[in-house]
């Protein structure tokens, strides 16, 4: 059988070399490592006559000893340009694809498989469609090489000199980094227009992915650069504080306060105010009196039980029973307490009100408060105000005062 005139002559039955994870295209030069005994025997059988044999890609790379059902129908006839025998029995060979073929039948030899084949050659028809597809594929492939760093730039120079659409299709197919099934699909396209059309679709898909990868990579690099800049400035700030004799942990104090504020579960407006104060604190000298005031203010906000709540038990019958159990008589105070609970039950969000019990010591004012707390299912807190002369002890001091403290309430 002759291919391209008298350049290559070979039989229609050739030894077969199954390939696990590579597809060889006509005109493509590729290195192969041959290690399976049957594969080594097939190459040796070919080298005893002519250095030409058939390669065929497996449908599943994991199959160790492939049979006819494990192999595709379209393969490539290759010529061994170089053969190197390794001491462990394997072969390193450099092959050149010289033609596409279709399997007519598999022939079992003593140590390897062979194939009866028929060559499948693409016709040299230069229609307007083929020329347009070739020009489109060449442009897409140039952009693909520019975006894909794994393909050398010399490939672009080689493709620009190719005028034959058939040859262009084989070169681009050989360098396109896609899945094994897609490469086999390109090899199976026996018409030049069909192969160029598939290349155009695959290149368009790959370019979209590469552009997205570049975009993501740019965003990540931008974030990393911003993080490196912040780290550099933080290190400079730490060095300046060290020279000024300030604590190196002042920056971490602000971060700890910020974490406490985030964890406290404050309302949005309160949290915003607290974070604003922390930013002010980070810019202050830790030795200034105002820094102490701001730190105390934020710590007080963070220590408040913003999310600690109890559900009110608004059961008037149970409340009346508890009040009667705890106190004998006192009908008017009990009636006023039940009126208050009834209003709370009807109005889901009543305005704040304070019950005031007046009387000499020992008549049951505090115990009535305990009964109300027990009836509502709330915790009872007693704040003694005996001897208090300054209202700031109850309401708290203004923040502008040095040593200001929160009030009892």
Residue 58 has pLDDT above 70, yes or no: yes
Q: Give the residue from 62, 86, 119 where a domain finishes.
A: 119
Instruction: For residues 225 and 164, state if they share a domain.
Output: yes
Q: How confident is the model at residue 31 (pLDDT cuts 50, 70, 90)?
A: very high
> What per-residue confidence (pLDDT) applies to 348?
63
Number of domains in the chain: 4
Report residue 92's pLDDT band, with 50, 70 and 90 as the boundaries: very high
CA 217/CA 149 separation, integer angstroms:
14
Pairing between strand 52-57 and 13-19?
Answer: parallel
Domain boundaries, position 260:
250-303
Alpha helices in 150-303 (DSSP H): 154-160, 165-175, 180-187, 192-243, 250-264, 268-283, 289-303
Same-domain pairing of 240 and 348: no
Most confident of 49-53, 150-154, 242-246, 364-368: 49-53
Q: With respect to residue 195, please indicate whether it lies within any of the assigned structural domains.
A: yes
Q: Tell me the mean pLDDT in the region 346-361.
A: 73
State pTM to two decimals: 0.52
Q: Are residues 187 and 222 in the same domain?
A: yes
Judge if 61 and 112 occupy the same domain. yes
Write down the pLDDT at residue 24.
92
Mean of per-residue pLDDT scores for the chain: 80
Assigned domain for 274 exists: yes
Looking at residue 232, what is its pLDDT? 76
Residue 402 confidence (pLDDT): 64
How many angstroms separate the CA atoms of 373 and 361, rounded?
Answer: 20
Considering the domain architecture, whether residues 235 and 138 belong to the same structural domain is answered as: yes
Torsion of CA 21, 27, 28, 34, to 10 degrees: 60
131 and 202 co-located in one domain:
yes
Share above pLDDT 90 across residues of the chain, in percent, rounded to a whole number:
19
Residues 133 and 237 placed together within one structural domain of the fold: yes
Last residue of a domain, one of 303, 329, 344: 303
Helix (H, G, I), strand (E, B) or coil at 91: strand
| pLDDT the model gives residue 6 | 43
Structural domain includes residue 323: yes
Q: For residue 289, count CB atoms less than 10 angstroms from its CB and return exposed for 0-12, middle for 13-18, buried for 19 or more.
A: exposed
Q: Do 259 and 340 belong to one domain? A: no
The reply to whether 235 and 126 lie within a common domain is: yes
Specify the range with the lowest mean pLDDT, choosing from 52-61, 186-195, 231-240.
Answer: 231-240
pLDDT in tens, 163-173: 888 888 888 88
Please report whether residue 394 resides in a domain: no
More confident residue, 324 or 44: 44
Residues 267, 234 share a domain: no
H-helix or E-strand containing 60? Answer: none
Residues 216 and 169 in one domain: yes
């Amino acid at each position: 059988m002759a291919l391209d005139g008298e350049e290559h002559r070979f039989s229609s039955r050739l030894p077969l070399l199954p390939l696990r994870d590579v597809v060889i295209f006509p005109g493509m030069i590729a290195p192969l490592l041959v290690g399976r005994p049957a594969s080594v025997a097939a190459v040796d059988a070919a080298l005893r006559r002519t250095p030409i044999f058939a390669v065929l890609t497996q449908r599943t790379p994991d199959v160790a000893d492939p049979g006819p059902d494990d192999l595709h129908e379209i393969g490539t006839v290759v010529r061994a340009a170089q053969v190197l025998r390794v001491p462990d029995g394997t072969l390193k060979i450099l092959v050149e694809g010289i033609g596409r073929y279709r399997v007519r039948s598999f022939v079992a030899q003593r140590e390897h498989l062979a194939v009866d084949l028929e060559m499948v050659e693409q016709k040299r028809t230069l229609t307007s469609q083929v020329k347009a597809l070739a020009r489109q594929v060449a442009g897409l492939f140039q952009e693909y090489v520019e975006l894909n760093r794994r393909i050398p730039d010399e490939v672009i120079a080689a493709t620009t000199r190719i005028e034959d659409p058939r040859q262009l299709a084989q070169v681009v197919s050989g360098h396109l980094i896609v899945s094994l099934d897609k490469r086999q699909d390109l090899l199976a396209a026996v018409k030049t227009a069909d192969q160029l059309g598939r290349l155009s679709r695959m290149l368009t898909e790959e370019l979209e992915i590469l552009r997205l990868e570049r975009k993501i990579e740019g965003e990540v690099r931008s974030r990393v650069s911003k993080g490196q800049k912040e780290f550099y400035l933080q290190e400079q700030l730490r060095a300046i504080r060290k020279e000024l004799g300030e604590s190196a942990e002042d920056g971490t104090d602000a971060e700890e306060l910020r974490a406490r504020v985030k964890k406290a579960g404050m309302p949005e407006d309160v949290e915003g105010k607290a974070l604003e104060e922390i930013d002010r604190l980070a810019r202050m000298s830790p030795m200034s009196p105002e820094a102490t005031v701001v730190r105390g203010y934020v710590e007080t906000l963070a220590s408040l039980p913003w999310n600690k709540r109890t559900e009110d038990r608004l059961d008037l019958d149970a409340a009346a029973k508890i009040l009667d159990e705890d106190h004998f008589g006192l009908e008017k105070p009990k009636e006023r307490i039940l009126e208050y609970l009834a209003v709370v039950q009807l109005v889901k969000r009543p305005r704040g009100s304070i019950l005031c019990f007046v009387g000499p010591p020992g008549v049951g004012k505090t115990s009535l408060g305990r009964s109300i707390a027990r009836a509502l299912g709330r915790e009872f807190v007693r704040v003694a105000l005996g001897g208090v002369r300054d209202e700031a002890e109850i309401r708290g001091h203004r923040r502008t005062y040095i040593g200001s403290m929160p009030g009892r309430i």
